[in-house]
Amino acid sequence: MTSPSFLAIDLGAESGRGILGKLDKRLTLEEVHRFPNGPVRIGDHLHWDILRIWNEVQACLRLAAAQPDISLASTGLDTWGVDFGLLDAANRLIGNPYHYRDSRTDGMIEAACKIVPRERIYAQTGIQFMQLNTLFQLFAMRQQKDPALDIARTFLTTPDLLNFWLTGCKGNEFTISTTTQCFDVRNHAWARELLAALDIPAAIFQNIIQPGSILGELLPWIADEASSKAIPVVAVGCHDTASAVAAVPAQDPDFIYISSGTWSLIGIEAGKPIINDDSLRFNLTNEGGVGGKTRFLKNIMGMWLLQECRREWNRAGKAYSYDDLTTLANSAKPLRSIILVNDARFLTPGNMVARIQEFCRETRQEIPQAEGEIMRCILESLALEYRWNTEKLRLLSSKALPVIHIIGGGSRNHLLNQFSADATGCRVIAGPVEATAIGNILMQAIALGYLSNLAEARALVVQSFNLALFEPGDSSPWEAAYQQYLQLRREEA
């Protein structure tokens, strides 16, 4: 009998991919399609090219179905958080969805908090304040009198929209819904009082669908065009971090994870939301996880800074690979310049090298010049940011948390992995790289009964993939750098 295979369609902010997972005694992966992704500028605004993304989703299905000796059991789709599409009364998409880095949300946190105090918003949603959050995108539409909000009858996050086009099933999957800051995480319902106060129409939000639910089968025309049978579509952890955390190869419940990609998401699994004065003060977030867990975490600008610098150098004719840049960083002098990676100036695309240099100039530090110096500055600053958040996670969970699991594409950066161990004093276990796709596949297998629960799924990850261990080294240089980092935070505040 042919072993079952599951197609993970994993859409990230920089690239998308279709990955087949074959489940036998181990889980094996095969990439069938990969494509670039990113914002499209129209005038002063950034959008997603959602129809091209939809075309690539269909290509993933078509290429997976064409693989020889494959018995495709199901498919599931995950994406980045917070972005969305609005449908009219005839279920037609209203306009091109905006990209979360679009500037229309500038100043919207402050404007919204004049209507509903920050403490009340956080008490309901438990979500970290970031101007890119869905709540502030919708509030910006109302403030700017965008007619789309009056026309809209249905709100669908990006994976919900694509799942609707795949199956005809409209709903809001739980893990992605919690990223919006429109969701009451304590009561597991939309935060209707908050939405009403900000004049956002609560009626457009859909019923909540739990991760691991089967949405339905591929629509007949999609199955025909993909030369596929009408396989089930599973609502996996539709937020990519939820799927990634499902694949953490943890054998002890007390661990920190860092889902390392365009964003670095550092957090723990909690049994329930942690919402108090300290979690608000530290701007930590409570997002829905799989298996009834809460992802208590902090969103940090991660490999985005590196990606933007690399794009800039490539446009100038310096075609560096990520490995090239890591090698250059390794050769640069250590701990000369530190940035606060979540500084607002680093949010939008373009001129990242100059912005990093500007930060160092303003804070009276040595200004990095060479590519290796810039890269080392980014990687060391990320490690120090990890240290700060590790301390806050320990404080708020009352747990020792001695191990950090780094998963996702960023786990391939051995230099950052070692810096993270050195800066935090934690043992770092790196891998698997394709954690999001793996978690997506595991949730499909659980939904269809091939795996019984999350514990069994994680044990399978340990059996199936090579992991790298990084022990902390000499901490004394990092202690001095951390004091400098803390001073920068004090000055920013």
- Residues with a known catalytic role: 240
**β-strand partners of 281:** none
**β-strand partners of 15:** 36
CB 413 within 8 A of CB 386: no
- Residue 232 to residues 1, 73, 166, 169, 212: CA-CA distances in angstroms? 20, 7, 10, 12, 12
d(CA 458, CA 442): 9
CA dihedral (60, 63, 68, 69) in degrees, to 10, reads 20
Q: Tell me how far the alpha carbon of residue 491 is from its chain's centroid.
A: 29
Nearest to 183 by CA among 142, 135, 143, 136: 135
Cα angle for residues 119, 243, 182 (degrees, 5° grid): 25
- Residue 178 to residues 21, 106, 126, 188, 289: CA-CA distances in angstroms? 27, 22, 9, 9, 9
What is the β-pairing status of strands 256-260 and 403-407?
A: parallel
d(CA 6, CA 23): 8
Q: Tell me how far the alpha carbon of residue 481 is from its chain's centroid.
A: 28
Residue length of the chain: 493
Q: What is the DSSP letter of 310?
A: H
Other CB atoms within 10 Å distance of the CB of residue 358: 14
Q: List Cβ neighbours of 167 (8 Å cut-off, separation of 6 or more).
A: 215, 216, 217, 218, 219, 233
- Residue 211 to residues 154, 168, 182, 363, 378: CA-CA distances in angstroms? 20, 18, 18, 45, 35
Nearest to 155 by CA among 102, 197, 203, 121: 203
CB-neighbour burial class of residue 155 (10 A; exposed 0-12, middle 13-18, buried 19+): buried
Q: Starting at the earlier edge strand, list the strands of the sheet with 213-217.
A: 27-36, 15-23, 4-11, 71-79, 232-235, 213-217
